[in-house]
Amino acid sequence: MAMYLNDDQSALQDSVRDFVSTEAPVSHLRGLRDAKDEDGFSRKLWQQFAEMGFNGILVSEDEDGLGMGHLEAGIVLEEIGRNLTPSPFLTTSVAGVAALNAGGKHLRDKYIPGILAGETILGLAIEEGPKHRPDKIAMEASRSGNGFKLNGRKSFVIHGASADALIVAARTAGSAGDEEGVTLFMVDRDAAGLSAESARLVDNGQAAAVTFNGVEVDADAVIGEVDQGQAVLTALLQAGRTGAAAEMVGVGAGAMDMTVDYLKQRKQFGQMIGEFQALQHRASHLYSEMEIARAAVMKAQQLLDEGNAGADVMVSVAKAKAGRTANLAVREGVQMHGGIGMTDEYDIGFYMKRDRALSEFMGDANYHANRVAELNGY
Amino acid sequence: MTDLDSFRSETRAWLEANCPEEMRQPIKGEDDVYWGGRNATFKSDAQKSWFEACLAKGYTVPEWPKEYGGAGLSPAEGKILRQEMGRIKARSPLQSFGIWMLGPALLHFGTEEQKVHYLGQIARGEIRWCQGYSEPGSGSDLVSLQTFGEDKGDHWVVNGQKIWTSYADKCDWIFCLVRTNKEDKYRGISFLLFDMETPGVTTKPIKLISGNSPFCETFFDNVTVPKDQIVGELNRGWDVAKYLLGHEREMISGGGLGDGSASLGGKVKPEIGSNALGQLDDPMLRADLAHFDVDVLAFKAMAEKFVDEMKAKKSHPAQPNMMKYAGTELNKRRHELVMASGGSDALEWESEGSHHGAKPRTWLRTKANSIEGGTSEVMLNVISKRILELPGA
């Protein structure tokens, strides 16, 4: 597969770019933040996403979606990142749908129509501590009657308080660290015994700590197979990590473009600051890193879409590289803006905040570099 | 099965039948590389038979047109051939500055006669070419070069000096930037080709910090060059030079990818040793290696994307500068890590066991990567000016 967008993908990119920059530019985020919006995103915009068809990108055509792949999902996410658009798209339409695609048809029949209509929102209840440790899932789901009873606590559930249902990873056998014994469940948000305590994050995202106090679910809430949740979890994580990497490329590119524009406007010492070689070289280094990060993400998307076994390592490469690079972009962005970059009035700080939140989402650059080392046997 | 699928299976079968086992081993020393030329000898029968099989198939220059010695492969077919060669770790059958640098310039700027003559020679590995660009006073500021060709009617008489001429003492012909008009800095340079055996040409190897001498000083003392040995128009050699530099930068940028085995961390594990979990015994070095491997795999994706975009004419014309910058900085990092992983063993300079100091000599050699073919600083200047369009760049 050639590593550039084909005509259909370019057309999609044009329409997404136009739509997101018109309907949800950075001022949209600022408005939600200033209004202290409880969801932290716009439900109206979520419906517009549905009308544009974006919500069905990973849904098969048989199930009324667009039947596209991670590359197309990434096209949407890059624009979301560039505009810092708050949206449940990544958790619901990308990671969530990828998990449902790897799981049972009965669950897709139940949840996909609502996602396609821009009504249903999914939350991902995977984490149990402040750092991403999906191999150490300890929360228990014990057998109870025909189903299971869930007890424990999950953290960093993005949009957890706004979600209609949560995808929950819990242990049905073995102990933390075991490969087998994890099962994924769909749990409705209003289930008895489930409570979500939401906190506003640095980037104005809303993340919940979710407590499961004897939450009962039927056997048909299981996504995939009991004790064999690893396959579904892998699909969810690969989609989420690659998607987050694509969004970070957008965040980095947005910050870089804004900064390069500023270098062409701001005057000091009687000249534009972009004339100083000290800044030119740093901006050019950043450009180079951004190009490499974008290529790494595209490669991961293509390998995932091909079902290539090499996707696993490349997904971690993409998340690590995009993570380090977007981080460079926002740090350079604030520094090169000087004093104005420290003001709330100016947008560059929003980029720094979103980058920080995305870098923790499904593993930071160190987590993924470590994973690359493990996959390479050292 | 699509045409490309059947091309892939044919290529796989052809490689299986024609690429000897010995030609699938990593390159250990300089003589494992076949450069061709008048004085070339094959190191082994395997090297010879691999070269000859590729030559017969047009695979020394697979994407050049058939009439100039290539196989006329499309970009997609060329990519498949590279992937399949990479898969079995096949060595390149013929390396040469003719293939990487002069060839593309001739394909773009050469006359039909020049193409048939010179490209054919390059494809067959008959002539080994060197590049006469830098001068003692013209390094990064290349356009200030002074080597002068005086117009004598049907020929030029060239006088001057070049420096950093790669393998000038082993090469047969030179492609050389020569000033033919002293009044116009940029439009006063011509791109000339001439035989290194022409009377008046002398070379002197330069010993480098690696102890090796891959570069020479090259002197021209009243060297006669016939008028038909110019590429492109008179005084417009800078256009040819810039075009060719793009290809040189692209070539040098490939160094960061190493020998094709993806993971440096995996490769050095036996030297460093590991703990009970199978992790390298040196956690800080392991972290450096892990981030390096991430960067290599990411850059590899970039290299593939760059070639695909270039062949589809979708890439920015200044993009080779970005590739050169990133690739050479990565290669320098690779060899810092090779040295750190080798520890005191990697310090050995002359022993048999160290292949006569292959590691430290290669490490030192890579320091030139971000200097030759345009320094990293010049690459960043070009990106600032042509891609980011920053003021005053």
Predicted confidence at residue A367, as pLDDT, reads: 98
Closest approach of B60 to chain A, Cα-based (Å): 23
Residue A136 lies in a domain: yes
Separation in Å, CA of B173 to nearest CA in chain A: 36
Chain B residues lying within 8 Å of A370, measured CB to CB: 287, 290
On whether both A293 and A358 belong to a single domain, the answer is yes
Residue A178 lies in a domain: yes
Question: Which residue from B295, B299, B383 is facing A284, i.e. has the nearest CB?
Answer: B383
Last residue of a domain, one of A89, A121, A153: A121
Q: How far is B333 from chain A (nearest CA, A)?
A: 15
User: Where in chain B are the domains?
Assistant: 3-123, 129-235, 240-387
Out of A174, A204, A228, a domain closes at A228
pLDDT at residue A263 is higher than 90? yes
Q: What is the mean pLDDT of residues B336-363?
A: 95
B286 touches chain A (CB under 8 A): yes
Q: Which CATH class is domain B129-235?
A: mainly beta
| A2 belongs to a structural domain | no
pLDDT for position B261 = 56
- Residue B2: per-residue pLDDT: 83
Same domain, A94 and A201: no
CB of A4 within 8 Å of any CB in chain B? yes
Q: Which of A228, A263, A288 is the last residue of a domain?
A: A228
pLDDT single digits (tens) A101-133: 999 899 999 999 999 999 999 999 999 999 999
A194 & A310 share domain: no
Q: Is the pLDDT of residue B258 over 80?
A: no
| CB contact (8 A) between residue A373 and residue B265 | yes
Q: Is the pLDDT of residue B174 over 70?
A: yes
Asked whether residue A180 falls in the same domain as residue A302, the answer is no
Q: Does residue A325 share a domain with residue A238?
A: yes
Q: Which of B164, B159, B162 is nearest to B180 (CA)?
A: B159
With CB atoms and an 8 Å threshold, state whether B295 touches A321: yes
ipTM confidence score: 0.96
Q: What is the pTM of this model?
A: 0.91
Q: Considering the domain boundaries, does residue A272 fall inside one?
A: yes
User: Is A224 in the same domain as A241?
Assistant: no
Judging contacts by C-beta atoms under 8 Å, the chain B residues touching residue A2 are 76, 308, 312
């048989």: which residue's tokens?
A62
The residue type at B175: F
Q: What is the pLDDT of residues B194-211, one digit of tens each?
A: 999 999 999 999 999 999
Q: Is B330 on the interface with A (CB under 8 A)?
A: no
CA distance B344 to B270: 15
pLDDT 10s digits, A91-102: 999 999 999 999
Structure confidence at residue B253 as a pLDDT band (50, 70, 90): low
- Residue A146 is part of a domain; what is its CATH number? 2.40.110.10
**A-B contacts at Cβ under 8 angstroms:** 151
**A1 part of a folded domain:** no
Q: Do A312 and A301 lie in a common domain?
A: yes
Q: What is the pLDDT of residue A111?
A: 98
**Which residues from chain A sit within 8 angstroms of residue B294, using beta carbons?**
316-317, 320-321, 324, 365, 368-369, 372
Q: How many domains does chain A have?
A: 3
Q: Please, what CATH class does the domain formed by B3-123 belong to? A: mainly alpha
* Averaged pLDDT for residues A281-300: 98
Residues of B in contact with A264 (CB under 8 A): 389-391
Verify that A314 and A257 share a domain, yes or no. yes
pLDDT tens profile B34-45: 999 999 999 999
Q: Which residue of B has its CA nearest to A373?
A: B290
pLDDT at B329 (0 to 100) = 97
* Mean pLDDT for all residues in chain B: 93
> How far B134 CA lies from chain A's nearest CA (Å)?
24
Q: Any CB–CB contact under 8 A between A298 and chain B? A: yes
| pLDDT tens profile A53-62 | 999 999 999 9
Mean pLDDT in chain A?
97
Quick one: average pLDDT of A273-282? 97
Which A residues, 14 through 53, put their C-beta within 8 Å of a C-beta on chain B?
none
A255 and A335 together in one domain: yes
Contact A319/B at CB under 8 A: no
Distance CA B216, CA B293 (A): 35
CATH code, A252: 1.20.140.10
CATH of the domain at A95: 1.10.540.10
Q: Is A313 on the interface with B (CB under 8 A)?
A: yes
> What are the chain A neighbours of B278 within 8 Å (beta carbons)?
377-378
Residue B29 scores a pLDDT above 80: no
CATH architecture, domain defined by B240-387: Up-down Bundle (1.20)
Q: Which of B63, B248, B250, B329 is catalytic?
A: B248
pLDDT band at A171 (very low <50, low <70, confident <90, very high): very high
The residue range of the domain holding A278 is: 231-375
Q: How confident is the model at residue B255 (pLDDT cuts 50, 70, 90)?
A: low
Q: Is B233 a catalytic residue?
A: no
pLDDT band at A176 (very low <50, low <70, confident <90, very high): confident
Task: Mark whether A140 and A88 lie in a shared domain.
Answer: no
Is the same domain home to A91 and A184? no
Q: Is A82 in the same domain as A14?
A: yes
Between residues 232 and 271 of chain A, which touch chain B (CB distance below 8 Å)?
260, 263-264, 271
| pLDDT score of B264 | 95
Quick one: pLDDT at residue A334? 98
